[in-house]
Structure 1
């Protein structure tokens, strides 16, 4: 799973930032948890452990599609595929607006799209 970037509390003031493990430093600070999580995923789409990703490793889904995730097969929205280490991950947004990367085997077409 992509792991160069992590979300961490930044100064104990209730805000969060995105830590870049490749350079051992902050990419962002002073964000809410939701904004930091979205920033982390966006950075994971742009960079792997060695630098910028190859264009073939990121495939936007336009328009975004309704799919189901293997957490009780809840409906989520898929808007990008990412290949990392030979495995595919879907960038999904759940009904609460949280964004994350999920391994492809944990995703399936929604019955509405089948």
Structure 2
């Protein structure tokens, strides 16, 4: 299950954001001043937890060095980790675009960018 953690406006602090945990129907983090930072927090939690609790260790692969990639829709960015959806067995890359927005993208939709040496 991906999408367990979503970014929402924090209802106790105007102009701030929080991360909502859909599995427990409650807040995981609150009082985050920047929406991009909140999105990053949600993506990090997606790497750590699936619908049933902590992800198995073999379901996450963090990269020592981020890899530049291109999404199928031609957006460029970087991935710094892979995570397997234990329900489908599909691998997703944690993708950060040039604006800093983080999302999980199906591995089949990512292509490495080969830069000349």
TM-score, normalising length from structure 2? Answer: 0.88
Deviation at 1:111, TM superposition (A): 3.2
Residues 32-71 of structure 1: pairs in structure 2 closer than 5 A: 32-71=34-73
Q: Extract unaligned runs of 5+ from structure 1.
A: none
Q: Tell me the residue number matched to 1:10.
A: 10
Distance, in Å, in 1 between the alignment partners of 2:19 and 2:75 is 27
Q: Tell me the residue number matched to 1:107.
A: 110
Root mean square deviation, CA, Å: 1.6
Q: SS at the partner of 1:35?
A: helix
Distance, in Å, in 1 between the alignment partners of 2:18 and 2:5 is 10
The number of residue pairs the alignment matches comes to: 112
Moved over 4 A (4+): none
Q: Extract unaligned runs of 5+ from structure 2.
A: none
TM-score, normalising length from structure 1? Answer: 0.90
Alpha-carbon displacement from aligned partner over 1:23-45 (angstroms, at most 9, x marks no partner) = 11100111121111000000000
Q: SS at the partner of 1:105?
A: helix
